[in-house]
C-alpha cells in the first residue's frame, strides 16, 4: 500500500499530576527513552525503535488526560493540502509554529466534533534508533522496563463519533476497519480506523462527555513480551485494568493499565493487516463483550466508564 498522505500516529501530549514521579515511571516501568525537556517544563520520550525525536510528551497539570494527539504526514506539501481539505470541510485550523515542540516543525491543529485536539505535522528530527542506517544490528530487547517498539494508537471517547468518522474518511483518507453496533443494530457504539495497513491507528467510542481519553497504546512484538510486561507491571505495583488477554476486535493481545496519574495505557501486540479493499467487520451488541475481551467474553465495569 503506497502511503502518501497521513503516515502514522506521531505523538501524544499527556497530562500528569506529578511530573517528576511520572518521568521516573515512564522511564523505569514503561522503559521509554527520555529525550529532554523544553522551556515549558514538558518532558519528552521516545520508544526504543522510533527514529523520530519523540512520541510522548508529559505536561504537569491539575487533572489527567490528553491535550492532543498528532499524526505525521508525508511532507509539507501534504500538510498544506490536508489543511485546505479540512477548511473546505468546515473545520477551523490553527498553525502551531516550528519549535513549539522540541525538534518538531510546523503543526496544523484542529478539533474533532468530539472536542479532541488533533495535529498534523510533516517534520520531526530523525534521531535514529541506535542501530544505524548502514549494516544495522538487530534490535535486542534489553534495558529498563517494558520497552515497547512504538507508540501505536489511541482510543478516544466523545459524543459525535459519526462526524469524527466522516472527517477521518473524507478529509484524511482513513479507512473504517471495524465497528460495534448498539442495541438498535444501526447506531455505532465504536469505530476503529486506519491510515495504514495496521488494524487501527485511532478508535473512538460514543460517550456523553466530549474530549475524553480512554487510552494511548504502545506496540510490543510478541505475546511473550505482553506477558513480560504484565510481570513488570506487577513487580512495580502498577494498577492493571484488564489482561493479559486478547481482543476479538483487531485480534490483538493486550493489557490495559494505569500510569501514576490515572491515565489508562495499553500494551498491544498483533492485529491483522488491513487494506482499503477489505470490508469492515461489524460486531453486534450481544457480542460486544467478546469483541473487546475475547477470552472473558464480557466487559469489565471500567471499560465504558473510566476515562480521563
List the catalytic residues: 153, 200, 215, 247, 256, 266
Closest by CA to 308, choosing from 254, 247, 256, is 256
Are the CB atoms for 17 and 62 separated by under 8 Å? Answer: yes
Whole-angstrom distance, CA of residue 217 vs CA of residue 244: 14
Whole-angstrom distance, CA of residue 127 vs CA of residue 143: 19
Q: Which three cell numbers stand for residue 53?
A: 525525536
In 28-77, DSSP assigns E strands to 33-37, 43-46, 56-60, 65-73
Q: Which three cell numbers stand for residue 248?
A: 476479538
Whole-angstrom distance, CA of residue 105 vs CA of residue 294: 41
Are the CB atoms for 47 and 121 separated by under 8 Å? Answer: no
Amino acid at each position: 500500500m503506497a502511503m502518501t498522505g497521513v503516515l502514522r500516529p506521531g505523538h501524544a501530549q499527556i497530562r500528569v499530576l506529578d511530573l517528576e514521579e511520572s518521568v521516573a515511571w515512564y522511564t523505569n516501568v514503561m522503559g521509554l527513552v527520555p529525550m529532554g525537556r523544553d522551556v515549558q517544563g514538558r518532558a519528552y520520550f521516545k520508544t526504543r525503535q522510533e527514529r523520530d525525536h519523540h512520541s510522548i510528551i508529559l505536561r504537569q497539570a491539575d487533572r489527567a488526560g490528553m491535550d492532543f494527539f498528532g499524526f505525521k504526514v508525508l511532507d509539507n506539501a501534504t500538510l498544506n493540502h490536508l489543511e485546505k481539505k479540512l477548511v473546505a470541510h468546515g473545520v477551523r485550523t490553527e498553525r502551531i509554529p516550528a519549535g513549539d515542540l522540541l525538534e518538531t516543525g510546523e503543526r496544523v491543529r484542529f478539533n474533532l466534533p468530539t472536542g479532541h485536539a488533533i495535529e498534523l505535522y510533516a517534520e520531526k528530527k530523525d534521531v535514529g534508533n541506535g542501530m544505524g542506517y548502514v549494516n544495522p544490528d538487530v534490535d535486542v530487547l534489553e534495558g529498563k522496563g517494558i520497552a515497547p517498539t512504538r507508540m501505536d494508537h489511541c482510543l478516544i471517547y466523545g459524543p459525535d463519533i459519526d462526524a469524527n468518522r466522516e472527517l477521518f474518511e473524507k478529509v484524511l483518507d482513513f479507512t473504517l476497519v471495524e465497528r460495534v453496533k448498539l442495541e438498535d443494530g444501526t447506531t455505532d457504539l465504536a469505530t476503529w480506523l486506519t491510515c495504514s495497513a495496521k488494524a487501527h491507528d485511532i478508535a473512538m467510542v460514543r460517550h456523553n462527555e466530549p474530549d475524553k481519553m480512554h487510552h494511548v497504546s504502545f506496540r510490543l512484538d510478541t505475546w511473550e513480551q505482553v506477558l513480560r510486561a504484565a510481570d513488570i507491571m506487577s513487580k512495580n505495583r502498577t494498577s492493571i485494568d484488564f489482561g493479559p488477554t486478547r481482543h476479538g476486535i483487531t485480534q490483538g493481545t493486550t493489557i490495559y493499565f494505569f500510569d501514576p496519574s490515572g491515565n489508562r495505557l495499553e500494551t498491544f501486540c498483533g492485529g491483522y493487516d488491513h487494506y482499503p479493499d477489505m470490508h469492515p467487520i461489524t460486531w453486534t451488541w450481544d457480542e460486544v463483550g467478546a469483541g473487546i475481551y475475547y477470552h472473558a467474553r464480557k466487559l469489565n465495569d471500567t471499560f465504558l466508564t473510566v476515562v480521563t
